Amino acid sequence: MTTPLTALLGYVAIGGMWRVAMLIPLSLSVAVVYKTTRCRQLRDVPMAVLGLWLTIVLGMYAVGVAAWLVFMTCVEWTAGR
Amino acid sequence: MPAENDGLTRCPKPMAAPRLIDQPFARVCLAGFLSWLLPGAGHVAIGCRTRGLILMVTIAITFWTGVAIGGVQDTVQPRKRFAWFLAQTCAGVHGLAACSWSERARAAPNALENANPSYASVDTGVVYSGIAGLLSLLVILDAIGRADAPVEQAAASAGRSARERAP
């Protein structure tokens, strides 16, 4: 089978920071769908999407950094004992 | 421009449609079923064309991006990831097509060549396609809500939209 669909049989290797970066397009699609269903006027959608997208991305990364800091603090603390 | 408009209210101008869609119960059922079958199609059927097309394209891109990242064989697996599979089937034709394709790909003689060793990729793909399915659930509920909204509310909203546009 040599159609372009063959590409979907394999996979795209994702690792390291790329895995973290994959949050960005996913949160964009969540923001687009949510705001498209909620906004009363379609012309309000782009700005609403931008606001929600930034909120999700910054919030999720902030939570991630906070969890990482707590983890590293615990590691240091247990190593020091 | 006709009132394509208006948030959670019924879109007041259905497309040229059969008489069946004018009946409230049939309208709700049709909007719900079409939204499940192809996310966004329910909105198009009840007259919210632009909104429906945005939803249709966004969910399709999200779902098939997930399949492309994780590989179709491993991303949609009813036996190994049943909960995620349920979420994926909410995307209607996308989920069912990917499931059918996945089963056929695993049964193929060269299936082992395509086996996916990257758990990071599979996890990312499963999350993408699963979230696309859950977003479809939101779209189904929204289409049902719009189809079920009272006509008076839609007319009032359309009138308000016209007044807002007036100079």
Summarised one tens digit per residue, pLDDT across range B57-84 is: 999 999 999 999 888 888 888 888 899 9
Say whether residue A24 is in contact with chain B using an 8 A CB cutoff: no
Averaged pLDDT, B148-167: 53
Percent of residues, chain B, with pLDDT higher than 90: 46
Give A-chain residues touching B114 at CB under 8 angstroms: 9-10
What angle (nearest 5°) sits at the alpha carbon of residue B59, between those of residues B83 and B39?
85
The residue among A23, A33, A40 with the most chain B CBs within 10 A of its CB, best to mutate, is A33
- Rounded distance between C-alpha atoms, residue B35 and residue B137, angstroms: 9
Q: Sort A63 into a burial class: Cβ within 10 Å, 0-12 / 13-18 / 19+.
A: exposed
Percent of residues, chain B, with pLDDT higher than 70: 71
- Of the pLDDT bands very low, low, confident and very high (cuts 50, 70, 90), residue B14 is low
- Of the pLDDT bands very low, low, confident and very high (cuts 50, 70, 90), residue B9 is low
Averaged pLDDT, B30-42: 94
- Rounded distance between C-alpha atoms, residue B76 and residue B103, angstroms: 9
- Of the pLDDT bands very low, low, confident and very high (cuts 50, 70, 90), residue A12 is confident
Q: Which pLDDT value is given to residue B23? A: 79
Mean pLDDT of chain B: 80
Please give the distance of CA B159 from its chain centroid, rounded to a whole number.
29
Say whether residue A48 is in contact with chain B using an 8 A CB cutoff: no
Name the residue facing A9 among B4, B72, B118 (closest C-beta). Answer: B72
pLDDT digits (tens, 9 = 90+) for B18-33: 555 677 888 899 999 9
pLDDT digits (tens, 9 = 90+) for A21-66: 999 999 999 999 999 999 989 999 999 999 999 999 999 999 999 9
Q: Sort B125 into a burial class: Cβ within 10 Å, 0-12 / 13-18 / 19+.
A: buried
Name the residue facing B51 among A8, A25, A36 (closest C-beta). Answer: A36
Q: Sort B140 into a burial class: Cβ within 10 Å, 0-12 / 13-18 / 19+.
A: buried
Q: Could you report how far apart the first and last alpha carbons of chain B are, in Å?
A: 15
Q: Which pLDDT value is given to residue B164? A: 45
The residue among A27, A36, A43 with the most chain B CBs within 10 A of its CB, best to mutate, is A36
How many C-beta atoms lie closer than 10 Å to residue B77's C-beta?
20
Give B-chain residues touching A25 at CB under 8 angstroms: 65
- Of the pLDDT bands very low, low, confident and very high (cuts 50, 70, 90), residue A79 is confident
- Judge contact between B73 and B111, C-beta under 8 A: yes
pLDDT digits (tens, 9 = 90+) for B108-134: 766 655 555 577 788 899 999 999 999
Q: Which pLDDT value is given to residue B120? A: 79
Say whether residue B153 is in contact with chain A using an 8 A CB cutoff: no
CA neighbor of A35 nearest in space, from A45, A43, A23? A45
Q: What contacts A80, CB < 8 A, 6 or more positions away?
A: none
CA neighbor of B58 nearest in space, from A43, A30, A5, A62? A30
How many C-beta atoms lie closer than 10 Å to residue B166's C-beta?
6
Q: Which pLDDT value is given to residue B97? A: 93
How many C-beta atoms lie closer than 10 Å to residue B51's C-beta?
27
CB contact under 8 A, B58 and A12: no
Q: Which pLDDT value is given to residue B165? A: 47
> Which secondary-structure segment (H or E) carries A39?
none
CB contact under 8 A, B118 and A38: no
**What are the structural domain ranges in chain B?**
24-149
**Least confident range of A44-53, B87-96, B157-166:** B157-166
- Of the pLDDT bands very low, low, confident and very high (cuts 50, 70, 90), residue B159 is very low
